[in-house]
């Protein structure tokens, strides 16, 4: 199962990088809505990694990132997720407090799947928003990534 997560985090990293490259090529599209959604996608990944490690995150879930920082955060998220996989059992329970102050427990595997699913969901939204601004949609389907 760890191999599955390693593969899907590589896929997530790759697709995020492609999307960030499109934003960098088209800086005029980095509107408040697109910027906030791109930031949220990466920030949430950051927050979840930190919850697993049991340390306070440096970013908040809805903190706006400058476009120039997106690649750095994506790189850090990928490296931290690889470290999570190396150092944790997927069935290990993680106790955490969400952004509303509520306490929950989920396993490392459940959290990792959530990170991947969350990223995919918001990438789709971002690609749709960019299309309305005239940017040719990038293909981020997993099967195309694997070909």
∠ CA 110-98-35, nearest 5°, is 90
Residue range 12-42, pLDDT digits in tens: 999 999 999 999 999 999 999 999 999 999 9
| CATH T-level assignment (fold) for domain 2-146 | 1.20.120
What is d(CA 91, CA 121) in angstroms, rounded to the nearest whole number? Answer: 24
Using an 8 Å Cβ cutoff, are 77 and 42 in contact? yes
Structure confidence at residue 116 (pLDDT): 98
Enumerate residues 6+ apart whose C-beta is below 8 A from 55: none
User: pLDDT category, 103, cuts 50, 70, 90?
Assistant: very high
């Amino acid at each position: 199962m760890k191999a599955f997560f390693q593969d899907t985090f590589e896929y997530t990293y790759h697709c995020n990088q492609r999307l960030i490259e499109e934003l960098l090529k088209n800086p005029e599209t980095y509107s408040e809505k697109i910027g906030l959604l791109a930031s949220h996608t990466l920030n949430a990944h950051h927050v979840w990694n930190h919850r697993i490690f049991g340390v306070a995150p440096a970013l908040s879930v809805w903190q706006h990132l400058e476009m120039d920082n997106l690649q750095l955060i994506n790189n850090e998220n990928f490296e931290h997720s690889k470290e999570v996989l190396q150092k944790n059992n997927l069935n290990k329970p993680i106790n955490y407090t969400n952004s509303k102050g509520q306490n929950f427990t989920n396993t490392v595997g459940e959290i990792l799947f959530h990170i991947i699913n969350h990223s995919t969901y918001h990438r789709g939204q971002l690609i749709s928003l960019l299309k309305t601004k005239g940017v040719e949609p990038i293909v981020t389907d997993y099967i195309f990534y694997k070909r």
